[in-house]
């Protein structure tokens, strides 16, 4: 997996929990392999409800209608199946899709519901919600396709082979593996499940809301802290953890010890200084964003004194990509773009810069 948000599991788990509460089966669709140019890559999953509604995307929308048709048959039979698509070249038109994606993919569709004990999604959800690192070994073919082994268990028809277990425990990237199940060589998709990156938003003002909501959508786990109780209304920050915490006691917050990134945006100079002081000491936080202009940044760094040096290489101030942002929503987009680029290890420049078309 190139980075933690390439195949984000947190949105998948949220959708799974909502559907699980309805106690009705649905279909899990997982990309087993791709060739050429495809919208998503191996290991990406989406859910398809009994009414054919997608929760997530495996393509730009060009395959989902056909996948929904397959999903209805999988729901009815309970038997997993593989749907294959090849959109390379002029023969794409044969599929009636006409996407021009110039790629191919294989997708495993399997029913998930009470009869399947909600597996393998229940195992994935347990890892994600506990912020534990692990991997799932998903059987990708044969009569037991869709069964799996996972940390501490599995529903595959036999015990996990020692070699399979060794590969699963060492798995850090999506990969295919072949193992023996009932004396038959079977393809297995090894699917790493990393903890979702945790973003700590320091300040719960109105302009923090679009940033928190966008980060949730991107697959971040988001925690918001503020010293003002009225700001910490769950309706303002859905799917976020909320902490009523004085800025001067940020170091005591458990989420600070495990967060990957933080954004300081309380609009209160003394509070922002306290937040930055705690983040300066928390050198495991690789991204520290600060809202506000450069003169305000410089004043805050002077207030930190010698401590400011501990933020070197981590502080993004003013935070965000230069997109001419002025509104809270645009500032959130700018900040989330820079944060996503940091997670992905990318510079955040324009794709078209320096590229030359190969068209005649």
Crossing angle (nearest 10°) for helices 269-281 and 294-304: 60
CA pair distance 13, 328, nearest whole angstrom? 28
pLDDT at 93 (0 to 100): 45
pLDDT for res 7: 81
With cut-offs at 50, 70 and 90, classify the pLDDT of residue 184. confident
pLDDT of residue 134: 95
pLDDT of residue 95: 45
Q: Whole-model pTM?
A: 0.89
Both structure tokens of 155: 């529903």
- As a whole number of angstroms, the distance between CA 271 and CA 248 comes to 7
Contact 271, 227 (CB under 8 A): yes
pLDDT at 354 over 70: no
The pLDDT of residue 96: 45
What integer pLDDT is reported at residue 153 of this predicted model? 94
**Region 231-238 average pLDDT:** 96
pLDDT at 216 > cutoff 90: yes
Average pLDDT of the chain is: 91
Instruction: Output the CA–CA distances (angstroms, integers) from residue 139 to 117, 127, 348, in the order listed.
Output: 17, 19, 37
CA distances from 297 to 74, 85, 190 (A): 57, 52, 45
pLDDT in tens, 46-86: 999 999 999 998 887 778 889 999 999 999 999 999 999 88
Q: What is the pLDDT of residue 91?
A: 53
Report phi then psi at 217, rounded to 5: -60, -35
Domains in the chain, ordered, with CATH? 10-132+144-157 (no CATH), 198-344 (3.40.50.720)
E-state strands within 159-197? 175-181, 184-193
| pLDDT grade for 38, boundaries at 50, 70 and 90 | confident
Distance (Å) of CA 119 to CA 39, 107, 111, 150? 26, 17, 9, 10
Tell me: the pLDDT tens digits for 283-337?
999 999 999 999 999 999 999 999 999 999 999 999 999 999 999 999 999 999 9
Looking at residue 35, its pLDDT comes to 87
Which structure tokens are listed for 308? 């400011």
For residue 17, the model assigns a pLDDT of: 97
Residue with the bigger pLDDT between 127 and 185: it is 127
Quickly state the pLDDT bin for 360 (edges 50, 70, 90).
Answer: very low
**Letter string b/e over residues 263-291, b meaning 16 or more CB atoms within 10 A of that residue's CB:** bbbbebeebbbbbbbbbbebeebebbbbb
What is the longest distance spanned by two Cα atoms in the chain? 69
Write the pLDDT tens digit of every residue in 93-115.
444 444 446 788 899 999 999 99
Distance of alpha carbon 57 from alpha carbon 64, whole angstroms: 7
């Amino acid at each position: 997996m190139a980075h933690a948000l390439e195949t984000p599991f947190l949105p998948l788990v949220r959708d799974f929990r909502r559907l699980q509460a309805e106690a009705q089966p649905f279909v899990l669709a997982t990309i087993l392999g791709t060739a050429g140019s495809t919208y998503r890559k191996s290991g990406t999953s989406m859910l398809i409800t009994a009414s054919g509604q997608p929760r997530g995307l495996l393509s730009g929308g060009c395959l989902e209608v056909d996948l929904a048709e397959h999903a209805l048959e999988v729901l009815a039979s309970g038997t997993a199946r593989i749907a294959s698509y090849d959109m390379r070249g002029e023969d794409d038109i044969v599929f009636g899709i006409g996407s021009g994606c110039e790629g191919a993919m294989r997708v495993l569709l399997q029913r998930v519901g009470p009869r399947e004990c909600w597996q393998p999604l229940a195992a994935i959800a347990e890892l994600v919600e506990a912020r534990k690192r692990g991997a799932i070994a998903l059987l990708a073919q044969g009569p037991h396709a869709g069964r799996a082994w996972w940390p501490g268990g599995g529903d595959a028809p036999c015990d996990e082979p020692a070699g399979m277990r060794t590969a699963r425990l060492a798995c850090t990237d999506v990969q295919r593996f072949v193992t023996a199940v009932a004396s038959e060589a079977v393809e297995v998709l090894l699917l790493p499940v990393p903890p979702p990156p945790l973003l700590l938003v320091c300040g719960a003002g109105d302009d923090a809301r679009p940033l928190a909501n966008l980060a949730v959508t991107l697959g971040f786990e988001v925690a918001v802290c503020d010293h003002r109780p009225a700001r910490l209304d769950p309706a303002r920050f859905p799917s976020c953890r909320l902490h009523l915490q004085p800025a001067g006691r940020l170091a005591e917050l458990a989420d600070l010890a495990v967060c990957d990134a933080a954004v300081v945006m309380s609009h209160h100079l003394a509070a922002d200084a306290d937040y930055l002081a705690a983040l300066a000491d928390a050198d495991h936080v690789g991204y520290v964003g600060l809202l506000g202009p450069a003169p305000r940044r410089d004043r805050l760094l002077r207030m930190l004194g010698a401590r400011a040096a501990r933020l070197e290489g981590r502080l993004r101030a003013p935070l965000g990509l230069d997109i001419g942002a002025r509104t809270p929503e645009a500032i959130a987009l700018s900040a989330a773009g820079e944060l996503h680029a940091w997670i992905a290890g990318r510079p955040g420049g324009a794709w078209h810069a320096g590229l030359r078309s190969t068209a005649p």
